[in-house]
Amino acid sequence: MSASPENAPRPQTPATAIPALPMADAAPAVPFIEIEALRAEQFIPAAKEALGAMIAEQGRDKLTRPIFNWAGRNSLFPLHWGLACCAIEFAAAFGARWDAERFGVVPRSSPRQCDLMIVNGTVTWKVAHKLVTLYEQMPEPKWVIAMGNCATGGGPFRTAYSVVPGVDKLVPVDLYIAGCPPRPEAMLDGILKLEQLIRERKE
Ligand code: SF4
């Protein structure tokens, strides 16, 4: 009986040797003396330079920081917005009669250029998230004045389902101005009191 082509033994393929991977060259040991020389030549001068720059910067900051703080607290930029009738008094304070800008108080329309939020009217739950968004968009350091009875505690509408009973439920308030509405003189007085508060807090 002859073997069928299927059953015929297959020719053995010669085993091929897997070429050995070249071994990574072992890093030559750096003599200790060279490390010391490198340290003395490069690391120590660089560290000295960085330390000197840091001390100079801290010194500059110590000298200039009080000047920046003084300039900042004497030029508060309130957000240019209005919520209700108190906003009319807010607007009047910037007119020719009271001229709030002589205190360096300049309303800005972008919250990113403001450091003071004057909440001047009734805050409803509908507008609450927008108020918080505007506050979050203001850069630090920032302050909040609750102007009038509505912003302070809901005012005549504090029992209404739609009114926030005080804006301190939403954002941290630094100063309250009483009145319904407070007159522009009261708003200016509030701003001067806030400047005093900032000075006392050393912010
Ligand atoms: S406190 Fe009085 S004036 Fe001011 S928003 Fe409320 S109701 Fe209007």
Q: Answer yes or no: is the C-beta of 120 below 6 A from any ligand 1 atom.
A: no
Average pLDDT over residues 23-32: 64
90: enclosing H helix or E strand: helix 86-92
Q: Is the entire prediction scored with pTM above 0.85?
A: no
Q: Distance between CA 93 and CA 87 in Å, rounded? A: 10
pLDDT at 16: 59
pLDDT at 12: 58
Q: How many angstroms is it from 180 CA to the middle of ligand 1?
A: 5
pLDDT at 87: 94
Locate tokens 């490390």: which residue? 35
Give per-residue pLDDT as tens, 137-174. Answer: 999 889 999 999 999 999 999 899 999 999 999 999 99
Q: How many angstroms is it from 81 CA to the middle of ligand 1?
A: 15
By alpha-carbon position, which residue is closest to atom 2 of ligand 1?
Answer: 180
Q: Answer yes or no: is the C-beta of 78 below 6 A from any ligand 1 atom.
A: no
Give per-residue pLDDT as tens, 42-93. Answer: 888 889 889 988 888 888 777 887 888 888 888 999 999 899 999 999 999 9
Q: Answer yes or no: is the C-beta of 121 below 6 A from any ligand 1 atom.
A: yes
